[in-house]
Every structure is written in C-alpha cells, then in structure tokens.
Amino acid sequence: MPRIVAHVDMNAFFAAIEQNAHPEWKNEPIVVCVFSGRTLDSGVVSSASYDARKLGVRAGMPIVQAKQLCAKGHFVPVNHTLYGQISDQIFTRLFAYGDAVEMASIDEAYADLTQKTQGDYAHAERLMREFQQKIQKEFNLGCSVGIAPNKLLAKIASDFQKPNGFTIVKPESVQSFLDPLPVKSLLGIGPKTEQQLVEKNIHTIAQLRACGAGELVALFGAARGQYFFHASRGIDESPLETNYEKQQRSSIWTLQRDTQDWNELRALVREKALELWDETAAQGKFFTQISVVGVDIALKQMTRSTTLNVACVSSEQLFSEVEQLFQSLLSNAPLPLRRVGLRVGGFASPPKQKRLNEFFG
C-alpha cells in the first residue's frame, strides 16, 4: 500500500493570530517581535505578516532594521501562551483526519494518511482540503498543505505554493517535482551548506542528484553525505514521531548564551547525553528512538530524530547519534538556539551480541 503523509504549515501563524485580535489592522503590516528589554527597539523579529514580508521584513531580523523597512507596521510582542492554545485547538482537529500526527513545531504538523485512505491520493486530497477549509472557517487562519509519499517530500510540497497552497506529489512525479527546485529546498541545507554547493556549481536538486554518493560523503561526511544522496532522490523512510509514547525520557535546558555553533554546544550536550544514558541504563531500559530539540530565539521549535534497528547499547553510541542529529538541525536553523534538549524512547531489550564465529558463517 502506498504511504501517504501530509504536512500542514500555518501561514504567518503568529502574525495572523494578531491580525484576528486586531481587525482594525486589516491589510496593514504586522510584525511579531521578541523584545529583549534593553531598549524599546532591541530584540529580533519572530514572525511577520505577508504585507510586512513584501517590504523585506524577515524572522530573525533586528527590530530596528525591521522598523526602517516597515515604518507603518504594527510591532507587537510575542504572546506564546495564546499561540500555543490556538495551535493545540487546530492540530487536535488533525487527529480526525490521519492515523497518526506529529507536531513538528507550534505552527506545523505531519499526519500519516496511509491507512485512513488505503493509499488513495484522491481520498487524501479530499480529506486535507476539508481540513484546510475547516481551519479557515473556524479560526479565520490559513494554512498550506503538502501531500506526498514521505515526510521530506510533504514538507517541501507545503512550502511550494504559500500562502494557502495545496500541493500533491505522487510517487510517479517525485523526481520531476524535485529536480527543478533550488538545493536550499531540501531540509538540512542551510545558508552555509548552500554556499558550499553553489561554489561547486550545484544550484538545483537535479544537479545535487547528479553527484555520486562518494563525492557527497567526501564533502559532508558519511551521515550528511548519505542523507543528501537519498534526499535528492526523494527517499525518506523516517516515521512520524508522535511524542505520545508513555515510555520516554527527556531533558531540555536553557543555554547561557544563544548560539548556532555546535562546537559551543558539544561539551554540554555530551554531559547531558551521558546523564540521560546513566538514568535509563540504571533502570535496565534500552531505547531505539533518539530525538534532539532546539528552540530558537524566536521561540520556534525544531526537532531531528532517528530510529535504530536495534536498541542503543552504549553512551558513546548515544552521543554519536545525538551529535549527527544536532549537526543536521543546526545546519538548517535560521536563528541561534536558546534552548536545546534530548529525548529517547521506543524502549526495548538490549540486542544480543554476536558470537565471533557468526561473523564467519
């Protein structure tokens, strides 16, 4: 049965909520900000309405710069409690449309539609158009939807025709959809990686796909090189992380200094990973699922996850996996991180060690 995954991305979510709260601002630019409190204008932009974006305002931009570009805009502080409440209400409704739901951040989620639709893309389209219309009617909020064979492609599809877009990528059209897109469309390709590729005259996903696996591994290391090799072909077998497992352990903490540099995070993350390992190992719990979490200065949450074929058996293996996940997350993070965390789950029995003679048949 063909796998079908939908990705829902709310359009300018924070700014749209503020627009609803202030109908007198209709068709006027709205900029949602994280004010630092040092001065009236110190801090960064968290979100901007599409009217403000047309003037060049972007998330992560200093408020002072945003005001220069958008002098007549309405600059309001982030109201994360309100946004979280509305997010919960919206995505609770998504459970009625899919077999499983993964919250990717406060304003986006994945839904697995495979069983619900029995692999029928026409049925998936009907369901998600109904959901899109329901959210518009009930909350006066728009969203963009992507439907595809996996999470990677669904995410790219939802970004394809914003705002209020609706894009379907069927299995037979994966490559024709991906090939013309710029390399930055792939998750994990941030500005630094994009620059590395552009310097090698690789601008599109088609050009990236033309690279051999060995060349990509040489450029980016084994984990990222293999990821780019598969991603450029639309291959992604990652499951939805539903975050509803009863058996899981997590740790999240606030950094002393906002950063995007793995070298600054490495020692602290290693310490926390070892603590998490000691806690679970002491209880005889061995896990197959590992996730890392980052919350940036605009309060946007990002996650990266992996599922092992057999349970993790050492603290060094845990840290190795965590390091690769964080490097992937940081390469695609547009803003410095304020909080980071680890989560493990999918507890299982430890794998049996092979006897030496098993390696020789």
Per-residue model confidence as pLDDT tens digits over 6-46: 999 999 999 999 999 999 998 899 999 988 777 778 888 98
Tell me the one-letter amino acid at 224: R
Cβ neighbours around 27 below 10 Å, total:
7
- What is the value of pTM for the model shown? 0.70
User: Does 356 score more than 80 pLDDT?
Assistant: no
Tens of pLDDT along 120-168?
Answer: 999 999 999 999 999 999 999 999 999 999 999 999 999 999 899 999 9
Domains and CATH numbers, the chain: 1-169 (3.30.70.270), 179-231 (1.10.150.20), 248-348 (3.30.1490.100)
Rounded CA gap, 287 and 346, in Å? 5
**pLDDT above 60 (res 245):** no
The pLDDT-based confidence of 74 (bands split at 50, 70, 90) is very high
- Judge whether residue 197 has pLDDT over 60: yes
Q: pLDDT higher for 167 or 293? A: 167
Quote the percentage of the chain above a pLDDT of 90.
48
Average pLDDT of every residue of the chain: 87
Most confident of 228-237, 245-254, 286-295, 297-306: 228-237
pLDDT digits 0-9 by tens, 111-125: 999 999 999 999 999
277: left (phi over 0), alpha (psi -120 to 50) or beta: alpha
β-bridge mates for residue 292, sequence order: 304, 342
Please list the active-site residues.
Answer: 108
pLDDT tens-digit map of 337-348: 988 999 888 776
